[in-house]
Amino acid sequence: MLIVGGGPAGLFANWSVNLKTIQRVVVTGRGVVSPVGSSIQDYWEGLFGGISAVRKITSFDTAKSACQIAGIVTDFDADAHFNFREKKSYERFTQFGLVAALQAAEEAKLQDFESDSGQIGVIIGTGVGGITSYAKAYDALFAGPEERPIDTYTIPRIMNSAVSSAISIRLGIRGPNITLNTACSSGANAIGQAMQWIREGRLRAVICGGSEAPVTYGLLRAWDALGVLSRKHNETPETACKPFDKNRRGFVLAEGAAILVLESLESAQKRNAEIFGEIAGFGSNCDAASLTNPDETGVAEAMRLALVDAELNPEDIGYINAHGTGTRLNDPLECRAIHKIFGDRASTLPVSSNKSVFGHAMGASSALEALATLLAVQNDCVPPTLNCDEQDPECDIDPVPTNSRKLKIEAALSNSFAFGGSNAVLAIRKWNP
């Protein structure tokens, strides 16, 4: 029996859980397509080097938009990965997710499972899926005096399930194939569900994560109408997103994908696979409070659930990868929730936001951030929060401003919260053979 203690206000007092006899879940493959780089090495160097990837949008006219910037993937060449028919069939978010999955599958050497592909599953999170093709279809119907033909490939492009299906088709995976949508926590929830499948012995391995390509004119205007986008930094986009800063004014949209191969420890060891870390715990809940406003009680509870699930105490956590949107509401609320769990230690606990570097990739953000957390734990290095020049007194944490920090990290949390109150927190632990 493990007694989890050390938390403030009795949150962990006398909380007991039975020691698990279930499968441990490790990461054996990683893949990424992101504004800061589309390989693990480039992602590491860009993110941990604190190189902003927020840029002026050039793919459409932004003259009527108050926000004209986003985190854009610039090093992705679809021609290098897909033939003509595939390019026509695959929306940009599908292309991102499939390429990241192929990276992860190659690193994990999933060909070892060739005769047992039914023991591998796929679960991918996305928020808006093929929204670009939706926009083009409606444009064909309504943006002129006469209707124009709709692209033959519109339906396969707009399907939210297109990316998970494309992964299974390309890799010949015959196990469960699921697409999950919980808005901005989609990727983290996908990773958490994958972990549970493996723990329960249902599958040996799962390809999981998130993919998104939401930078469209309509969605940009819609988010701006909600008043949550950064509007004052169109000429200096690298300074736009300012999590935990007194002068923060909102986030910027972004695109990308991050995919992990999770595997039971038994399976990984049997095939001598390289292990990059352990998904140790998962906390998922709903605030049940508001469609758009997070609730600190629910956010704190999700962190507590992840710790309990991982059989970790608050003092075991060396770093928190924050949801950290840079909005007026979210940042102090998340910091208060951290204080609920970590007490006085919260003021000195390193907490940083990747969104300051590459923006908010909606359903893919939580997967990109989980990958960043994994890299932080693996390399004992905390990525920075950019643009936190004047820390908000209401954000009483250590935001790791400007530069990454070398720090011994045995375990970390990756926080993700979403509209609808859907919270997902992953506990990631260093792999120690």
Cα dihedral 142/144/146/147 (nearest 10): -40
Given 67, 184, 241, 388, the catalytic residue? 184
Two tokens, residue 355 = 């969104």
Given 233, 360, 388, 395, the catalytic residue? 360
Q: Catalytic: 360?
A: yes
- Distance (Å, rounded) from C-alpha 129 to C-alpha 213? 7
- Distance (Å, rounded) from C-alpha 223 to C-alpha 229? 7
- Distance (Å, rounded) from C-alpha 262 to C-alpha 37? 22
Q: Which 3-state string (H, E, C) describes 404-433?
A: CEECCCCEEEEEEEECCCEEEEEEEECCCC
317 φ, ψ (degrees, to nearest 5): -85, 125
Residue 358 near residue 34, CB atoms below 8 Å: yes
Q: Catalytic: 339?
A: no
Please count the residues of the chain.
433
Residue 157 near residue 392, CB atoms below 8 Å: no
For CA atoms 166, 167, 171, 176, give the dihedral sign.
negative
Unique residue bearing structure tokens 């492009």: 157
**Cβ neighbour number for residue 12 with a 10 Å cutoff:** 18
Q: Catalytic: 323?
A: yes
The contacts of residue 65 (CB under 8 Å, 6+ apart) are: 217, 220, 221, 224
Residue 299 near residue 217, CB atoms below 8 Å: no
Tell me how far CA of residue 278 lies from CA of 195, 211, 266, 383, in angstroms. Answer: 10, 22, 13, 19
Residue 274 near residue 29, CB atoms below 8 Å: no
3-state SS class at 27:
strand
Given 67, 233, 323, 339, the catalytic residue? 323
Tell me how far CA of residue 305 lies from CA of 12, 229, 308, 309, in angstroms. Answer: 10, 31, 5, 6
Of 26, 44, 41, the residue nearest 429 (C-alpha): 26
**Cβ neighbour number for residue 24 with a 10 Å cutoff:** 18
Catalytic positions are: 184, 323, 360
